[in-house]
Structure 1
């Protein structure tokens, strides 16, 4: 290694090793469990509509209340992660939402379930920006974007698990209760996160905990075969002096443009994604599909997320973060419009043919799923790179929290839009929100193959 590298620079120059893999898999499993929990509620809504006789207003409340908690949790979690550490908050949030989800299985009515979903949301909202920040701060500079997209791809694994549980478990007697009981797994997994994953080196240095930071870096260097003689580093003082940015500066002259752009991207993509996917099984059921058939449709759409992440992971280091994000958001616009028009297209091409209608609608849905989730991967790669170390987690958390306002509003507005103007209009609205995010993404900074800012 070159002389006088900071610890962050030493991490940046390392090859990808088994230690990185352990961090990615450990964080990714937590991410997948998050997705499974959020995904399950879309299937449970459809089941409870039949079992409890819930109307669209009650279902909207159930679908959106978790995002109220997520908006609060994302903001508080980011602040806490910059105060007490990424790993501590990651483990705490897993514990909170795992316990709350397990208890949800015992719900005796809508009110109890709504309160517990709010608590679940607090934990979920806090975890996601913290996990992506931790992984981003350890990933080698050359492939940092690809590693974060790989982390985000665990979302598809979790949503696929939710779709599988929704298909095989939820339709059975008390199936939704068993599904929620499975959501208690993160509470146990929190112990592994607390003791099995490293704390952020950049966070440790910002708190003057240089011995712990050095130990963490050396563990990754040992995994890469770096010898003692290779460990040339800058003095502790040079590293610690960098972090002097405060959270109030997110809207100061330096960061204002990127903050507004980032918040708009998060708002647009949240509105469209959760507006479509939270209500999808219920909309399909109300459109004439059986409950099981609607769950099967959603399962197939979920499978299309995996290649979307794969292509985004490849392109993000070839094209760059911003072009990849803009391209996938543009594809999401096309997918949303195609999905909204699919029934009309099917009727014009094959009138009265239910199989053709299913196939055409599924193709449009898979297009939406492919591009939408690829865009999510690119967004999570960009978000931790926008701000320096001192406000990285809180800045990411604030953007995530703003996005959760859209995630909260979308499930409430979906039945209103469908009732007033029909399902095709709903997907035009969702396409317009993707377009808003696409335009805003052009104003984000580009950090492909660049070191993360320290100050």
Structure 2
């Protein structure tokens, strides 16, 4: 399966029509900003939803006497839904198109988020958060896919990487609100329900979004793709118009192709890379207030705020490195630093607060920057007809890792303490480092369309 390569600008330019020569070479248009804004909003909603449960979980635990199992289930609930939503609806996005899922998933997210206000029973709250995760799982598959297929090639990395920054913004805001306003049961439920506000805004902005031209081309619907490219992007299709329509619509065939020669290494890399990134992240930050309280850290709220600010700063700085040094060097270097940092957290777990917080802050800063890759790499690993399936698969499997880590960490802290808990999380990052050295491709200059 070979990707379509662009011809030089001079051979494709169409000055007579005033249209850009191809989708990948189109200048930044207002429509690009619209798709970017709604995808940004979706990632903000995701970060807000996942961050808020961690922020209010200690309050719910104390007011409802939740067991360790219920704490783990509620912490992992949205991640469980993300797994099923990404796996199931990612493939649906390659079969029926991106546009329908891009809109209707946020109907589910908005309604389920609002309903959390009345979910006083942990079983009901768990169910609603699984539904929220299911809707977000669809967006993990089709959101970055849509953006990658509309975005000009030179801006694709920074736009996709910025999704993680917006995720972090949502996560940090949820953490701050939860810390200062979620100390009562009623306040906790109000904060959970406020997730409906950004979700509704995203839904309203997405109404009227057209189908991805790249997907239409893969289905042989070139005339429709050309019409959308002209109307919304003021661009020609370029060589993409000549790509043969996809014949891979069978569910099992798609997954078989993902693990076929030439594609399997990319799939295995994406699976290990993404899972190793997010398992320690979600485990640690879902229970960060609990971890800080266990360590008797003075002024837990201030330390938690500092860590959240480092999350945000690291994500922003990481965008520059993403564009500057490429995907492969960035993933190897950051995995290595994070492995060392968490190892030092384990070493200094019984030391002074300063000795403990320095490696924690280093891990937080670097991890936030490295997380930008989780939005960029998956979309660049697959050709058009497999892209939503592949992105959904990698997101879904990574959420298994996230849910496992989130469920196991509180048990690990009780049984083994902080040091050994940090050591096994560092071992996960070491696996990611080794997998990246062996398999990570450089996809910075890849194009968004392909034949096949």
State TM-score, norm by structure 2.
Answer: 0.88
- For 1:125 and 1:48, the matched residues in 2 are separated by 25
1:298 is aligned to 304
1:280 is aligned to 288
Q: Which segment is superposed worse, 305-314 or 37-46? A: 305-314
- For 1:340 and 1:367, the matched residues in 2 are separated by 14
1:53 is aligned to 65
User: Alpha carbons of 1:289 and 1:314: their partners in 2 closer, same or farther (altered >3 Å)?
Assistant: closer
1:454 Cα offset (Å)? 0.8
- Asked if 2 retains the 8 angstrom alpha-carbon contact of 1:45 and 1:59, the reply is yes
- Asked if 2 retains the 8 angstrom alpha-carbon contact of 1:33 and 1:183, the reply is yes
Unaligned runs of 5+ in 2: 1-8
Structure 1 position 263 matched with structure 2 position 267: no
Q: Please list the CA deviations of residues 140-195 of structure 1 after superposition, one character each: whole Å capped at 9, or x if unmatched.
A: 22232122111221011101210121123211451111101101124523533432
2:212 is aligned to 200
Write out aligned runs for 1:71-110 (5 A): 71-110=83-122
- For 2:369 and 2:306, the matched residues in 1 are separated by 16
**Which one of 415, 423, 428 corresponds to residue 418 of structure 2?**
423
- For 1:441 and 1:161, the matched residues in 2 are separated by 32
2:37 is aligned to 25
SS of the equivalent of 2:262 reads coil
- Asked if 2 retains the 8 angstrom alpha-carbon contact of 1:329 and 1:434, the reply is yes
State TM-score, norm by structure 1.
Answer: 0.88
SS of the equivalent of 1:404 reads helix
**Which one of 323, 333, 340 corresponds to residue 334 of structure 1?**
340
User: Alpha carbons of 1:9 and 1:256: their partners in 2 closer, same or farther (altered >3 Å)?
Assistant: farther
User: Alpha carbons of 1:211 and 1:169: their partners in 2 closer, same or farther (altered >3 Å)?
Assistant: farther
- Asked if 2 retains the 8 angstrom alpha-carbon contact of 1:26 and 1:197, the reply is no
2:173 is aligned to 161
Structure 1 position 406 matched with structure 2 position 375: no
- Asked if 2 retains the 8 angstrom alpha-carbon contact of 1:337 and 1:428, the reply is yes
1:5 Cα offset (Å)? 8.2
Coordinate RMSD, CA, aligned:
2.5
1:92 Cα offset (Å)? 2.1
Q: Which runs of 4+ in 1 moved over 4 A?
A: 1-9, 231-236, 242-246
- Asked if 2 retains the 8 angstrom alpha-carbon contact of 1:270 and 1:407, the reply is yes
- Asked if 1 retains the 8 angstrom alpha-carbon contact of 2:213 and 2:228, the reply is yes
SS of the equivalent of 2:382 reads coil
Paired residues in the alignment total 434
Structure 1 position 451 matched with structure 2 position 447: yes
Q: Please list the CA deviations of residues 316-349 of structure 1 after superposition, one character each: whole Å capped at 9, or x if unmatched.
A: 2321111111212222223322333444331xxx
Write out aligned runs for 1:37-436 (5 A): 37-172=49-184, 174-222=186-234, 231=236, 233=238, 236=241, 238-241=242-245, 246-247=253-254, 248-288=256-296, 293-346=299-352, 357=353, 359-436=354-431
- Asked if 2 retains the 8 angstrom alpha-carbon contact of 1:152 and 1:377, the reply is yes
User: Alpha carbons of 1:450 and 1:363: their partners in 2 closer, same or farther (altered >3 Å)?
Assistant: same
1:283 Cα offset (Å)? 2.4
Unaligned runs of 5+ in 1: 347-356
- Asked if 1 retains the 8 angstrom alpha-carbon contact of 2:140 and 2:391, the reply is no
- Asked if 2 retains the 8 angstrom alpha-carbon contact of 1:90 and 1:127, the reply is yes
